[in-house]
Structure formats: structure tokens, C-alpha cells
Amino acid sequence: MDNIKEHELVVIGAGPGGYRAAFMAADLGLQVTLIDAQPNPGGVCLYRGCIPTKALLHLARVKEEAMKASAWGLTFQEPVIEREKVKAWKEGVIKQLTGGLGQLTKARKINYIQGWAKFTGPNTLLVKSKETEVFRFKQAIIATGVTPVKLPFVKEYTDRIMNAEIALELKTIPEKLLVIGGGYIGMESATIYRALGSEVSLVEVLSIVMPTMDKELTAVYLKQNKDLFKEQFFETRVTSLEEHDGKVIATMGAFKNNQLTGDPFTREYDAVLISAGMKPDTSALGLEEAGVEIDGSGFIRINEESRTNVPHIFAIGDVTGGALLAHKASYQGRIAAEVIAGKKAAFDARAIPAVVYTDPEIAVAGLSEQECQDQGIAYRSVKFPWAASGRAVANGDPAGLTKLIIEEDTDRILGAGIVGKGAGDLISEAV
């Protein structure tokens, strides 16, 4: 047991929650060890999620504006997508940001380990990097995030049967692409590939896209995106995907009342992008060895301090469930670090904004109408169409809507929703 290394605080996972927790803890005087599989902090968000997605969505918006500008009297040549240059630019963005986080880690004298960690007890970890070591820790923060759900009939992902992370690698731009799943990741991915030149189709088991989003906001978005998809299959489930002669054969059928109905049918695509949800990335953590409790979906249970049922083990970010948002994880990371450092802090999720970076963007914060109804809160909604906004009309973006949810008795703003260009920036005014 003499070779066991003692650590004051170990943070497992270096995404937005993990590195924020590590940075804050180091700033508060704690000795911090940060463990992640990547060479620098950043996590899925910077390497294979938020940042490359936003970089490519920016490209999509620039292309769209260039094509719209002729209506304003400004004509460009037809935009040409050079895939390798786009890919290099995206990779450059990732390298710059993750490299910067690496420098910040060194500046704070955080012990960064590129490797994997697994609990072997409530105070010990088996850490695999260049060497395999056993750590004993006083406090730990779990920030391992989530991983894409794999459909049962998909044995492995390929260049043609992709999850969203593989799709961001831009190994090819398929002529015909099927997106499975109409959540925010699926819709953002569809926006990207449509801009890159793919003919995109969608299949969704529900009757609508982005089902958790305010329906009035979604309606404005859909009106502006009538031509986004070549074909749309709602209340439909894909039952198999088979690669054959450089194509993917998708078999699907009508899906209602949680069962397949009617006869199956097939469509042929050059590639399929699966965006069927996320699950907690905890399978290799050894949570049972540490005694950490999870809920029925596998997410780690925590209290308002981000503390698990094991008092000296904390969990933050997507691995704890709820809204899967990088800035929420970052906020929880700060809370956990402050609590560990002996400060009073608690997590309050009432006004955390969420943004879908489609075109136009959709952003919400606070309570929705449905949540007010479910909680029996008396409210009224106030709406402002952007067609009445001089700035929006002058910018060529009149197709937008701002909506506020106001408590009837107090006139207090309970929630806000915005759809339109720059909605993700504007929502901060309501928070």
C-alpha cells in the first residue's frame, strides 16, 4: 500500500464542468488532480460537440446570408464548399481552444493526467495513463458527461452509419442523408449538412420535432424551414440499417402507441446520422465500488450542493441528468468547488437558458407555459413579433418572435422564449 498516492481533490472528466471545477478549486487554494482521456481539457463539448457544431453552424449561416443577399441588391457568386478547408478550419478552432485550456491548467499548477479513472472504493481510484496507479483522495468530483445512445440494431458506427460526433469529422458529405431523431442535436446536424450540400431527410418517433420546446417558437422556426428536409417521417421508427454497395438501406414503419403499425418500408441513403438521445457515461466508473447511487436512468443522484449520497464525492454536469448543457455543468462545477473549499453555495436551476442553434435560433429560459400549467401558476403570455421591429426588418430578419411568461399576481417574469436571428445572445436579457 506504500505506492498509493494521496490527493486532496480529484476531478474525473475535463469537460466544461470538470475544468471549471478544477480551476475554481485551484483558485481557492486546493491541490487538484484533473483526469481525462484527451491531451487537454475540453471534453466532448470542445472536441466533438458544442464547439465544432457551432463552428459549422456559423459556416451554414454565412452561406445562407450570402444566398439571401441578392434580394437586398447584393449578389455573390454561388458559394462553394471546400470540405478539406472546412475541416481544417474546424480542427483549428478545436486545437486553439483546447490548447488554451491546457495552458490555463498549467498556470494553476493543476496535476493533469491524460488517462482513465475507476473507483475501487469510497476513497480510492485506479488510474490508467502511461502507468497504472492507485490514488487515495479526500474529495472527488465526477464530471464524465454523457454518451450517445446506440440503437439496438447498430453493432458499430461507420463512416456511413454515424452518430453526431462522427458526423462532425466531415469525412465525407453524403449526397443523401437520413437524420434519425428530431431533437436539438438532430436539427442542428441537419442544418449543417443541408448547408454543406446534402439532401437531408428526417425520421422521428414523435409527431413533432424538438418536443420539449415551446410550440409557438417551434412553429416560427418550422415556417422558415419548410424546405430543410426532402422527406419527413413522423411517428415513424427505424427498425434496421444495412450497408450495401456503398449505400445504407433504412427499414422503417409507422409507430404509434409505443408499437409499430402498418407495413414496413425502405429508403436508400448515402449515409445515416443517428441522434436518438444521450445516456450517462458511467459504465466504467465503478460507482458501485464507491457506493454512489444512481437513478433509474443511470444518472448520478445529487443534492443542491452537487454532493452525492457519499458526502465527499460530488457529481456535476450531464452525468447528473436534467438539462444537458455545458454552461449548466460549468455552474455546477463552481458550486461543487466552493462547497469543497468550505464555502456556502447551492445550485439554482430556475433561469438557466437553453439554445438550439438552428437557423433561426431558438432560445428559452425559466418556466414555459406548460410548466406553469403543470404547477398551477396563474400567468399570462406576452408576445412581440419581430415583423414589428425596425431593427429586425432592416436586418432582413423579420421572421422572429419574443415571448414572455409573466406571473399574473406579481407581474414577475417567470420565463422567456425567443426565436430569430441571434436569439441565443438576446436570451441573456431575460436571465
Q: How far apart are CA 25 and CA 339, in angstroms?
A: 10
pLDDT of residue 431: 86
Kindly report the average pLDDT of the chain as a whole number.
Answer: 95
Residue 337 has what DSSP assignment? H
For the chain, domains (ranges, CATH) are: 5-148+279-340 (3.50.50.60), 161-276 (3.50.50.60), 360-430 (3.30.390.30)
Look at residues 299, 404, 398, 315 and name the one whose alpha carbon lies nearest to residue 351.
Answer: 404
pLDDT of residue 78: 87
Q: What is the mean pLDDT of residues 386-399?
A: 94
Q: Is the pLDDT of residue 2 over 70?
A: no
H or E stretch covering 426: helix 423-426
pLDDT per residue as tens digits for the range 213-263: 999 999 999 999 999 999 999 999 999 999 999 999 999 999 998 899 889
Q: What is the mean pLDDT of residues 183-199?
A: 95
Q: If pLDDT is split at 50, 70 and 90, which confidence band does 118 have?
A: very high
Q: Is the pLDDT of residue 1 over 50?
A: no
Number of continuous H segments (helices) and E segments (strands) in the chain = 12, 22
Residue 20 CB contacts under 8 Å (≥ 6 apart), including other chains: 329, 330, 333, 334, 337
What are the Cα distances from residue 74, in Å, to 64, 81, 264? 13, 20, 48
Min mean pLDDT across 64-68, 196-200, 409-413, 423-427 is at 64-68
pLDDT of residue 349: 82
Q: What is the mean pLDDT of residues 257-283?
A: 94
Q: What is the pTM of this model?
A: 0.93
Q: How far apart are CA 130 and CA 137, in angstroms?
A: 20
Can you name the residues that pair with 365 across neighbouring β-strands? 416
Q: Is the pLDDT of residue 414 over 80?
A: yes
3-state SS class at 305: coil
Beta strands in 338-390 (DSSP E): 354-356, 361-366, 379-385
pLDDT per residue as tens digits for the range 314-329: 999 999 999 999 999 9
Q: How far apart are CA 380 and CA 369, in angstroms?
A: 9
| DSSP line for 326-348 | HHHHHHHHHHHHHHHTT------
pLDDT of residue 106: 98
pLDDT per residue as tens digits for the range 340-371: 999 999 998 888 999 999 999 999 999 999 99
CA 14, 325, 123, 127 torsion-angle sign: negative
